[in-house]
Amino acid sequence: MRIVVTGMGIVSPIGASVDQFWKNAVAGVSGIGGIQSFDTTKQRSKIAGEVTGFDPTAFLSTKQIEQTDRFTQLALHAAQQALEDAQGLEGYQPRRLAVCLGSGMGGFSTFEFSATRRLQNKSVPPFSVPRIMANSAAAWIATRYGLKGPNLTCSTACSSAANAIGMALDLLRTGKADAVVTGGAEACVLPLTMTGFEALFALSTGFNADPAHASRPFAKGRDGFVMGEGAGILVLETEEAALKRGAKIYARLAGYGCACDATHIVAPDVDGQVAAMQASLDDAGMTSGQVDYINAHATSTPIGDVIETKAIKQLFGERAPEIPISATKSMIGHSIGASAAIGSIAAIMTLQTGTIHPTINLLEADPECDLNYTPNSAVEKKVQTALCNAFGFGGNNVSIVFTTL
Amino acid sequence: MDTAELEAKVIEFIASKVENIDTSTITTASKFEELGLDSMDTVQLLFDAEDAFGVTFDGEEVKNLRSVGDIITYISEHPPEGKG
């Protein structure tokens, strides 16, 4: 059974539509700036990839806004785009329509807000729990569109959306659903969350005065990831049903693989990453020789980008330097549980357009990062098989394979 | 704030919170359910009213607040600290 992508939606720091996002990604536009949403005086990392100008009142009622966290609002906006794009899902039985989303943190802006009030002995908003819970976004998408089949949420930190997309693939292959709204959403440009990542020395702190150059995967002088936010949503269904209903088909979701390092709660590991990439190719029934583009996890941390480079070399061997790689996070920062959905959309647009977006801020590469990362300028190349990587705290490694039809 | 002023402010506040209702019909006698508010909407309304009027509704007494007038009475009997 072949599974295809028939709808896409995105909210990101460089665009709140697939067209706008892709145009900016190809042009290498940075969406990183000084944080606007809270006072950063006490933060060491004062920059982020924020979704600015996002207005939930444009598509949600006052009551819906009161009952939803920002991550859910971002997910709802991306889902609206994806479902309008896919069109015609009403032809399926509602019980056969599933939602399978990823989020690393869930409704953490509500958590931070409500916790602050509680510590000040003030009342806590009545919708605190349903706003905070990680499955809130999936539940709201189902409620809004009457999607009455399985409703799942996967939380595997930075790989959440990749696992969610893989679980969606499995729901379709095992016949548990006819179409799945999948992807991820995250909104944790927040003081406590960022302080937590600062405490791990995971965030960039040396570019507060030069935000556009802070997210620099594979580059010399990189000093951590830049927090981001956003949502990416895909609509998946079987190729047979999509063709039958005359749907526009973007790409085939051919394979999904995941593996746990089982070594360290935050440190990355070459073997686990290789295992996930290999598993995704095995699942797709493909070989490493067929991969002609990699959308890397590449968060811009000193260690992470080196480990991913080593893993790619280990799996692809002497072909590794020939395969174009790019890092979407160089432009939008790291949107945690949404990042793999956004990376997937970038990979699918690469298959669609024959353009590989650049890794920006790569004027001088780290000597230990010596592959072809598509530095600074987009490249035209016909791509038939794209691999999208996502690696998360907890030792989670996930890869997904998209192909042309 | 005298009673008439408080009444006007509470009614204005509630009018800003309800949807699909002719707000000119809201009076002190209006019950929340008549304004289209279910129990969860009412809890949200009372939470918002706390911030708007600088009061804290007692967790148990909140269950007895059923109308616009009940809110007005509660606020006048529990003036914000330092402003009483």
Give residue-wise pLDDT tens across range A274-294.
Answer: 999 999 999 999 999 999 999
Predicted-complex ipTM score: 0.77
> Residue A165 corresponds to which tokens in the numbers above?
């997309």
Percent of chain A residues past pLDDT 70, beyond the cut: 100
Q: Alpha helices, DSSP H only, in A87-190?
A: 108-119, 128-132, 136-145, 160-173
B47, A61: Cβ pair inside 8 Å? no
Q: Classify the C-alpha dihedral A8-A11-A12-A17 as positive or negative.
A: positive
Smallest Cα distance from B49 to chain A, Å? 11
Shortest CA gap A121–chain B (Å): 10
Encoded tokens for A185: 């959403």
Task: Determine the longest span between alpha carbons in chain A, in angstroms.
Answer: 62
| pLDDT tens-digit series, residues A173-226 | 999 999 999 999 999 999 999 999 999 999 999 999 999 999 999 999 999 999
Q: End-to-end CA distance of chain B: give it in Å, rounded.
A: 9
User: What are the C-alpha distances in Å from B44 to residues A50, A337, A353, B15?
Assistant: 28, 29, 48, 14
Q: What's residue A372's pLDDT? A: 98
For A5-14, how does the pLDDT look when each residue is reduced to its tens digit (9 = 90+)? 999 999 999 9
> Is residue A253 over pLDDT 90?
yes
Q: Could you tell me if A337 and A78 are in contact, meaning their C-beta atoms sit under 8 angstroms apart?
A: no
For A44-71, the pLDDT digits (tens) are: 999 999 999 999 999 999 889 999 999 9
Set of chain B residues whose Cβ sits within 8 Å of the Cβ of A128? none
Of B19, B44, B56, the CB nearest to A126: B44
pLDDT value at residue B21: 84
Q: How many helices (H) and strands (E) does chain A have?
A: 13, 14
Q: Output the pLDDT for position B81.
A: 62
Mutate to test the interface with A, among B21, B44, B55, B62 (most CBs of A within 10 A): B44
* Nearest residue on chain A to B37, alpha-carbon basis: A63
Residue B74 touches partner A, C-beta closer than 8 Å: no
Q: How far apart are CA A108 and CA B73, in angstroms?
A: 36
Structural domain includes residue B46: yes
Interface test with B, best of A61, A65, A66, A116 (most B CBs within 10 A): A66
Enumerate residues 27 to 46 of chain B having a beta carbon within 8 A of any beta carbon in chain A.
Answer: 40-41, 43-44
How many structural domains are present in chain B?
1
Angle at A35 between CA A298 and CA A305, to 5 degrees: 10
Note the pLDDT of residue B23.
83
Question: Which of B47, B53, B57, B81 to mutate: most A Cβ within 10 Å?
Answer: B47
**Amino acid present at A14:** I
> CB of A341 within 8 A of CB of A233?
yes
Residue B60 domain flag: yes
Q: Does B70 touch chain A (CB under 8 A)?
A: no
Query: CA of B56: which chain A residue's CA is closest?
Result: A123
Q: Evaluate whether residue B16 is within a structural domain.
A: yes
Residues in chain A within 8 Å Cβ distance of B52: none
pLDDT digits (tens, 9 = 90+) for A130-141: 999 999 999 999
3-class state of residue B77 by DSSP: helix
| Cβ neighbours, 10 Å, residue A18 | 24
10 Å CB burial of residue A136 (0-12, 13-18, 19+) is buried
Secondary element (H or E) of residue A41: none
In chain B, which residues have their Cβ closer than 8 Å to the Cβ of A126? Answer: 40, 43-44, 47
Please tell me the distance in Å from A129's CA to the nearest CA on chain B.
Answer: 13
Tens digit of pLDDT for each residue in A90-100?
999 999 999 99
User: Is residue B44 included in any domain, yes or no?
Assistant: yes
Residues of A annotated as catalytic are 158, 297, 334
Task: Assign residue B41 the CATH number of its domain.
Answer: 1.10.1200.10
Q: What is the mean pLDDT of each run of 10 residues along chain B (84 residues)?
A: 90 90 91 92 91 88 91 89 52
Classify residue B20: in a domain, yes or no. yes
Q: Which domain holds residue B58?
A: 3-77
8 Å CB contact of B43 and A126? yes
Instruction: Please state the rounded mean pLDDT for residues A104-121.
Output: 96
Res B84: pLDDT: 44
Domains parsed from chain A with CATH numbers = 3-244 (3.40.47.10), 255-403 (3.40.47.10)
Tokens, residue A218 = 């594979």
